[in-house]
Structure 1
């Protein structure tokens, strides 16, 4: 039977634009608060959404071209050429957290509580990664599949691109998984260490912050790790876990 899907590495801004269309479609069905955190639609009209999408496409392309570790891949349906899935894998050949977790910035939000709220969510997500991944590794930052092509092997194709490259390099893998995505990552050798609930309480919070808490707090995420080669036991003994290994 002919292969239905083909995976490609993103090289052009037009390909990045198609990838962003996939991310928007995936994060609105079902709706995920992460979509609004990273892609705020600052208005209530179709034109406001168009402006937000254009900003996101430009921002992600600029971020990719200025980040040496960034590698984007996408999956096309062979018969139609439609882009139906995407993933960003970063390759870190050395410890990226020598100076601790990087400061989180969300300049796509206007200054104020919304920006601060987004930055605090990002800070909490990064804490386990910055504490435990202080060695060369690959990290999956983004994964999305359009709703009409889910459960057809698209996500697995994108995961294998990263894990195969990690095995070639002899490094660990890391990611933060949603509840929906967690089973497929487990199938590829990742294991979750904890389930993170976001603590967004603030003393003397104003109405805007409370609105953010109500509307924008994401569901829990699970930091997940895959050891070198996906091998969890060596010589009958369990591998050293991230918090048991120091920086290399």
Structure 2
């Protein structure tokens, strides 16, 4: 496995575009509602899907270019010279929420109930980070493995590159895990702290909102935390006992 798959950090637009192809493939087998929140296909034809893929590639490249904490890694299949797995690790060497946090928006959706629903879900996932990710840390934002290459250790390779960097920098780690991904993360020392279920209720909800709730509500996820390497040998102190600058 180690000889067939090599982990590299993406440096070019071409590499990140190939990473996005992996993410699209991975999240439709099986179908993951969270995918549609980030990458809506606004229509029913192949052309609509291609437009959505192109938009997502441009958006993620621009975000990556403007965020020095963003690090995208991919597993390269040396037999085909194509990426077959990817992960984004965000490395924050200071409190990223020192200036506070603002409401997340989803401008990739047209104005309307779908955008409002998407923003509601995203804020339920990411805004709580401002309460617990206040110390320097590494956060896993994305993890995807091409369906044809699963169960070959690719997820472990992508986890190892992130936690190894965290250990070198003596940083704790955070992520939000699906039920499917949770066992992998536990193997790398992550602890499940709480389960996040989504509030999709709205007084006098429109038919469109109810449709969003039916089609796009993700399964509950788990907030997971990995302590600093330097803390592993001593008594484990959970994150809420560490203050803001530990």
- TM class by shorter chain equals over 0.9
SS in 2 for 1:36: helix
User: Which deviations, in whole Å up to 9, do the C-alpha atoms of 1:141-175 show, x marking residues without a partner?
Assistant: 00000011111110100111110000010110000
Would you say the 8 A contact 1:128–1:223 is kept in 2? no
Would you say the 8 A contact 2:145–2:154 is kept in 1? yes
1:230/1:181 CA distance change after superposition, 3 Å: farther
Cα deviation for residue 214 of structure 1 reads 0.6
Cα deviation for residue 2 of structure 1 reads 6.7
Cα deviation for residue 128 of structure 1 reads 3.4
| 1:242 matched to 2:236 | no
Alignment correspondent of 1:197 = 197
SS in 2 for 1:193: strand
1:98-117 equivalences under 5 Å are 98-117=98-117
Alignment correspondent of 1:39 = 39
Output the CA distance in 2 between the equivalents of 1:83 and 1:214.
33
Which TM-score applies when normalising by structure 1? 0.95
Output the CA distance in 2 between the equivalents of 1:246 and 1:86.
32
Output the CA distance in 2 between the equivalents of 1:209 and 1:58.
28
1:57-72 equivalences under 5 Å are 57-72=57-72
Output the CA distance in 1 between the equivalents of 2:102 and 2:151.
35
Deviates more, 1:46-55 or 1:124-133: 124-133
User: Which deviations, in whole Å up to 9, do the C-alpha atoms of 1:82-129 show, x marking residues without a partner?
Assistant: 210000001101111124433211110011111111111111112432
Gaps of 5+ in 2: none
SS in 1 for 2:165: helix
SS in 2 for 1:131: helix
Would you say the 8 A contact 1:74–1:83 is kept in 2? yes
- After superposition, the CA RMSD in angstroms is 1.3
Alignment correspondent of 2:221 = 221
Alignment correspondent of 1:180 = 180
1:153/1:210 CA distance change after superposition, 3 Å: same
Gaps of 5+ in 1: none
User: Which deviations, in whole Å up to 9, do the C-alpha atoms of 1:208-243 show, x marking residues without a partner?
Assistant: 111100100001110100000185450xx3x22111
1:205/1:180 CA distance change after superposition, 3 Å: same
| 1:149 matched to 2:149 | yes
Output the CA distance in 1 between the equivalents of 2:168 and 2:97.
23
Deviates more, 1:142-151 or 1:125-134: 125-134
Would you say the 8 A contact 2:170–2:230 is kept in 1? no
